[in-house]
Copies of this chain bind each other. A is one copy, B any other.
Amino acid sequence: MGHTDNPVIDAILKRRSIRKYTDEAISREDIITIMEAGQWAPSGLNNQPWRFMVVTRDDPRHDKLATCTKYAHIIRGSYACIAVMLEKKAIYSPMKDHQGAGACIQNMMLAAHSLGLGTVWLGQIVNDQTASLNALDKSENEYELQAVIALGHPDQKGSADRKPLSELLLEDF
């Protein structure tokens, strides 16, 4: 895992889920930059079905959102959460729109990493769509919650492992 000469590949290989944050605030400008990264994800037919909502720790809905997941402590420790939803009427293919949401979320996490910020992709929280969307004052008729990205200044290094590429590559080439 070299590539420290290529900052994009370096970010991709070194980004880790960060679940502990310091109390330091994050600028509005950085949060907008992160969402702009999501905005530029590719989507099938360029339908751009993703919608965002930022809930900072000063917003009462931040704690309400925390009650919708067993990872409440991560949300409570974060400076802000970015909820990523699909607008249901913009969906043209569930599989492809879910893929697009994933590309969008990954862009945001890479952008945050490049700004020195930590994120974790919270997926368990979307299992109860009714409760989570209700915490955000949003309607399940209109939106499908894709993930909540918790965001803060890192207070841990994070760790991860991956299968070797040989297990993922079905044939040599």
Contacts and interface: CB of A to CB of B under 8 A. Distances in A.
Most buried by B among A9, A53, A161: A9
Contact of A42 (B115, B121, B173): B121
Contacts of A101: 99, 102
Contacts of A161: 46
Interface in A128-173: 138, 146-147, 160-163, 165, 168-171, 173
Interface range on chain A (Cβ under 8 Å from partner): 35 or more
Interface of A: 1, 3, 6-9, 11-13, 15, 17, 28, 31-33, 35-42, 44, 46, 48, 50-56, 59, 80, 85, 93-96, 98-107, 109-111, 113-115, 121, 123, 126, 138, 146-147, 160-163, 165, 168-171, 173
